[in-house]
Amino acid sequence: MPRNEKLRLQRALRNWRQQDLADQLDVTLTTIQRWERGIQEPRTYYRVKLCDLFGLPPQELGLSDDDDQPPLSVESEPDTGAAEPALSKFSVGDALWTIPYPRNPHFTGRQELLAALDQQFAPAPLVASTGIRRAALTQSQAIKGLGGIGKTQIAIEYAYHAREQQRYTHTLWINAASEETLLSGLAALKEVVPAISVHNENDQRALASEALRWLEQCQDPWLLIYDNADDLSFLPAYLPATGNGSILLTTRANSTSLMTSSLEIEPLSIEEATRLLLHRAQFEEEVTPQERVDASTIAMALGLFPLAIDQAGAYLEETGCNLQDYLTIFHQHRYELLVRRGKQASGYPDSVATTWNLSFQRVEATNPAAAEFLQLCAFLAPDQIPEELLIKGAAYWPPTLQQAVTDRFQFNQMLEALLAFSLVKRVGKTRQLSLHRLVQVVQLDRMSAEKQRQWAQRVVLAMNALFPENPAQTESWSLCQRYLDQVQACDTLIQNYQLLSPEAASLLSRAGTYLAGRAVYSLAEPLHQQALTIWQRSQETDPLPVAKQLVRLATLYYGWGKYKQAEQFYQQAFSLYKRPETQEDRGVGTAMRGLANLYNNQEKNAQAEALYLRAIDFQEQRFGPDYLEISLSLSGLGYVYVKQKNYTQAEALYSRSMHLIEKQLDPDHLDVAYSLLGLAIVYGHQERYEEAEHIYRRVLRIREKHLGPEHFLVGFVWHELAKLYQKQGKYQEAENCYRRALKIREEQLGPRHSNVVDSLNRLGNLYHEQKRYAQAEECFRHVLRINEQLQTPDPLRTSDVTLELAIMYSEQRKDEAAERHFQHALYLFEQILQLDDERLAEALYHLARFRQAQDRTQEAIELYQRALQIQQQVLGADNPITIATLQSMQEALRTAK
């Protein structure tokens, strides 16, 4: 790597512009450009300053004379004015270092905390069997306290401190402010860890999973820092289970004992706070006794709070005022400070607000639009504010701000005024802005309740106008994701200010639809629920929006595998669709089909068939035979007939569905895949294997194109393709497909989802067929464990798997285990099923075979007779299964004679 490139990479890693670096070194922008292009070498004075600023030795900045690569010449890197390349990789030798901040030269005190972290993270003993150190609670630590108390600075200082001690090979920093940012941070590790790779480089969840796996398997010692982990509800899923590493969390949450021990961060001591203020204000040399007294007075007035003291020191340095003048200014704001003290909701002491108000007044005087901009930002998610939200939402802002954001020159002037006080930052090259949460808190405290509500309403209306209208369409997903943090901020505003408008409900509902389409059900649910609450306030005057929202919630729960809740919401929707003013709506047919899908998935075939037929009839009568959504009902009905082994009728329905779709949609449209999939399933049952495989591959191409290769609907296709291969005896191909489906489903739907259980069960069946008994048993036991962990375990699934285990044990001549499982399975079936259910007959049949193998022939004959009686009644005398049972019974009779 060219020497000058190292300096550029370090700057880019910290998201600094060249101008930012120039300002910190008090040099011109041209000087920085010359250094980074290799035209000019920094003088010794600036080499020392660069090393101090970045907290790195000269070799890592390309400043060492013994670096084995010379700087680039002007000719080798011409000045084209092009944008700088994105950072692709950063490492020091084989060591990874992703701390995004330089070492704080003003860090003061906290030695006891650093010593406690050293002790907590002392290397754990090796596990003898694996040679790997576990990342257990004894190697995890949280540092907690109020925002601005210095948690992040302590984490940064510990990282550099540990680096000096050479404690870790790899040091990784992840922003854990939300699940989305955490996923993004883990996914970004692919840029520095070549081993982290998935098929779809845009699938953050898959990349995050690979990153955690890499940490668990990494033999080098590592430190993983999760910063701003204030919401701990989602965090356990992202803690490495094993590995030779330490995990450090910074959080405002008080309760962390369930996942790790914690250290409570307290305010500084008077001595530490005074030293910090003087150091930060550059007053350390030749400080008079009176100045030290004044500094202690300021520190105490600021509550010994690190961020407030740091801000006070910055103000003193930047304005050049003395300590006595600062005290005078401070006392002029005493009332405001006292008014704000004790407000638990803000989480910050008023001294921070007082310090920042000095800057706010300057902004208001020099650029009123910038002041309004700060007020607006107080109601947005602070870390990634899209600039186009400010620009395209201009119609909802006050006139002064509206004019500023619609003129690019004025827009940049406004930002310049705020950047001068470090109140906002531009985030890389993503055309996004960020500001500190404390700036938001102080801005809110400066507004009246009426003004706060006005701004909250403006933000919700603007976000509603910008969020995509059709979030179910995959083409809009990238934009939905960009705005997601802001929608979640709007959700909070809607609740806090009771903004119960149709626009608010529509925004929440569309965001919930997007998240449900990405299978992020836990985030989608509260948005949909809040939208329903808003719509329900107008239910008596207009029930239609309520009915539509109920269907959306039902669809969410259906996809989530929460079938009881799904059915409940579908039924509530139908009760509203019975009203005269709603009966002509297109959503009636959608609701019928949705409930039919639910019954179809639950094997309630008769109810599903009836609803599909009603939906088709309703849609044909009201919207004509070419209404596109009829194709979805036709496909669903086709699957009912597949399960009834009525393949001819099923094929006719799928063919009709395809004909309807192909007349209106592109051959690669996502909806085409739904009918194609059903046709492939029919061909598989008809043993038209080559045709079926060809269609499955086409469906895979369509869904991967629109949804990405790791989407749960793609996992469903892999599962069905695996079943096709299994029927043909192509066991290796089937195993590969089942495992691919299982991986996708676990990552996208969660480890306890019914689809995960289906894949595990089928994989166990596959191993059973191959007599790979140990692997089959592992799969079946896993299914039972998942089922037991569910809030409402499925007794029928337990029965089915128990029977599978019984059959497998009987084949291995493990008679005691087989007997126990047969008896348990039969007991469960008799408790759950009708006495004429074919599954009960199957259990009786296999127990009869087991008795026959034990030479207990008379008992076997009696069991065969019971099974045969059920099969003749349910399946008919000519059914192959019935005939097989009859033949087995006849064989047992001959043996008895």
Report how far apart, in Å, the C-alpha atoms of 192 and of each of 89, 96, 195 are: 5, 7, 9
Residues of the chain with CATH 1.25.40.10: 586-671
pLDDT for position 802? 92
SS3 254: coil
Phi, psi of 84 (to 5 degrees): -70, 145
Other beta carbons within 10 angstroms of residue 492's beta carbon come to 12
Residue 91's pLDDT band (cuts 50, 70, 90): very low
H or E element in which residue 374 lies: helix 368-377
Average confidence (pLDDT) over 475-493: 91
Is residue 652 within 8 Å of 695, Cβ to Cβ? no
**Residue 713 amino acid letter:** L
* pLDDT for 105 beyond 80: no
Report how far apart, in Å, the C-alpha atoms of 883 and of each of 187, 596, 876 are: 56, 33, 9
Other beta carbons within 10 angstroms of residue 9's beta carbon come to 21
pLDDT for position 181? 86
Question: Architecture of domain 111-264 in CATH?
Answer: 3-Layer(aba) Sandwich (3.40)
Average confidence (pLDDT) over 570-598: 86
Q: Higher pLDDT residue, 557 or 136?
A: 557
pLDDT for position 90? 43
Is residue 132 within 8 Å of 123, Cβ to Cβ? no
| pLDDT digits 0-9 by tens, 707-740 | 889 888 899 999 999 999 999 999 999 999 999 9
Residues in a beta bridge with 433: 385, 426
**Residue 332 amino acid letter:** Q
| pLDDT digits 0-9 by tens, 159-193 | 998 988 888 989 999 988 888 888 888 888 888 88
Is residue 769 within 8 Å of 540, Cβ to Cβ? no
pLDDT for position 204? 84
Residue 690's pLDDT band (cuts 50, 70, 90): very high
Q: Higher pLDDT residue, 77 or 518?
A: 518
CB-neighbour burial class of residue 690 (10 A; exposed 0-12, middle 13-18, buried 19+):
exposed
Q: Options 2.40.50.100, 3.40.50.300, 1.10.287.610, 1.25.40.10; which CATH number does 586-671 get?
A: 1.25.40.10
Question: Backbone dihedral region of 87: left (phi > 0), alpha (psi from -120 to 50 degrees) or beta?
Answer: beta
Is residue 200 within 8 Å of 190, Cβ to Cβ? no
Is residue 405 within 8 Å of 411, Cβ to Cβ? yes
Report how far apart, in Å, the C-alpha atoms of 887 and of each of 299, 883, 890, 894 are: 93, 6, 5, 11
CB-neighbour burial class of residue 3 (10 A; exposed 0-12, middle 13-18, buried 19+):
buried
Question: CA-based angle 812:756:203, to the nearest 5?
Answer: 135
Q: Higher pLDDT residue, 490 or 707?
A: 490
Other beta carbons within 10 angstroms of residue 855's beta carbon come to 8
pLDDT for position 339? 35
Q: Cα(112)–Cα(587) distance, rounded to whole angstroms?
A: 64
pLDDT for position 355? 45
Average confidence (pLDDT) over 103-109: 79
| pLDDT digits 0-9 by tens, 111-123 | 888 888 888 887 6
| pLDDT digits 0-9 by tens, 217-274 | 888 899 999 998 877 888 888 888 788 888 999 886 656 665 677 887 777 888 888 8
Tokens matching residue 3: 């020497």
Q: Higher pLDDT residue, 839 or 312?
A: 839
Residue in the structure block whose two tokens are 């920093």? 173
Query: Half-sphere exposure of 194 toward its Cβ, with a 13 Å CA cutoff?
Result: 3
Q: Worst-scoring range by mean pLDDT, 31-35, 312-316, 836-840?
A: 312-316
> Tell me, what DSSP letter sits at residue 63?
-
Spatial neighbors of 887 by CB under 8 A, at least 6 apart, are none
Is residue 215 within 8 Å of 222, Cβ to Cβ? yes
SS3 101: coil
Is residue 311 within 8 Å of 355, Cβ to Cβ? yes
Q: Higher pLDDT residue, 689 or 5?
A: 689
Residue 11's pLDDT band (cuts 50, 70, 90): confident
**Closest by CA position to 746, among listed 734, 758, 731, 736:** 758
Is residue 29 within 8 Å of 22, Cβ to Cβ? yes
**Residue 653 amino acid letter:** L
pLDDT for position 279? 84
Residues in a beta bridge with 251: 144
Helix axes 18-25, 44-54, angle to 10 degrees: 110
Is residue 265 within 8 Å of 144, Cβ to Cβ? yes
Q: Cα(725)–Cα(143) distance, rounded to whole angstroms?
A: 52
| Lateral strand order in the sheet of 170-175 | 170-175, 222-227, 245-251, 140-144, 261-264
Q: What is the CA radius of gyration of the chain?
A: 33
List of long-range contacts for 829-837, beta carbons under 8 Å, 24+ apart: 829/799, 829/803, 831/795, 832/795, 832/796, 832/799, 833/796, 835/870, 836/870, 836/873, 836/874, 837/870, 837/874
**Closest by CA position to 219, among listed 256, 291, 181, 168:** 168
pLDDT for position 359? 65
* pLDDT for 554 beyond 90: yes
Q: Cα(268)–Cα(622) distance, rounded to whole angstroms?
A: 73
| pLDDT digits 0-9 by tens, 201-229 | 778 888 888 889 898 888 889 999 999 88
Residue 490's pLDDT band (cuts 50, 70, 90): very high
| pLDDT digits 0-9 by tens, 356-389 | 565 677 788 888 999 999 899 999 998 789 989 9
Spatial neighbors of 108 by CB under 8 A, at least 6 apart, are 268, 272, 275, 276, 279
Average confidence (pLDDT) over 842-855: 90
Q: Cα(703)–Cα(669) distance, rounded to whole angstroms?
A: 9
Tokens matching residue 309: 């003291």
Tokens matching residue 583: 């009966």
Residue 669's pLDDT band (cuts 50, 70, 90): confident
β strands within 136-207, DSSP E: 140-144, 170-175
Say what percent of the chain tops pLDDT 70: 87
pLDDT for position 77? 29
- Which CATH superfamily includes the segment(s) 3-88? lambda repressor-like DNA-binding domains (1.10.260.40)
Q: Cα(757)–Cα(561) distance, rounded to whole angstroms?
A: 11
> Tell me, what DSSP letter sits at residue 85?
P
Residues of the chain with CATH 1.10.260.40: 3-88
pLDDT for position 450? 93
Dihedral of the CA atoms 490, 492, 496, 501 (nearest 10)? 40
Question: CA-based angle 499:502:504, to the nearest 5?
Answer: 50
Spatial neighbors of 174 by CB under 8 A, at least 6 apart, are 182, 185, 186, 224, 225, 226, 227
Mean residue pLDDT of the chain comes to 82
CB-neighbour burial class of residue 61 (10 A; exposed 0-12, middle 13-18, buried 19+):
buried
Residue 46's pLDDT band (cuts 50, 70, 90): confident
Dihedral of the CA atoms 619, 620, 625, 628 (nearest 10)? 10
| pLDDT digits 0-9 by tens, 740-766 | 999 999 988 888 888 899 999 999 999
pLDDT for position 460? 96
Q: Cα(556)–Cα(4) distance, rounded to whole angstroms?
A: 53
| pLDDT digits 0-9 by tens, 51-90 | 878 878 787 888 765 444 433 322 222 232 323 223 233 4
Residue 549's pLDDT band (cuts 50, 70, 90): very high
Is residue 71 within 8 Å of 38, Cβ to Cβ? yes
H or E element in which residue 21 lies: helix 18-25
Q: Worst-scoring range by mean pLDDT, 249-258, 429-438, 453-462, 847-856?
A: 249-258
Is residue 550 within 8 Å of 535, Cβ to Cβ? no
Spatial neighbors of 500 by CB under 8 A, at least 6 apart, are 494, 534, 537
Q: Cα(717)–Cα(479) distance, rounded to whole angstroms?
A: 27
Residue in the structure block whose two tokens are 């009709």? 656
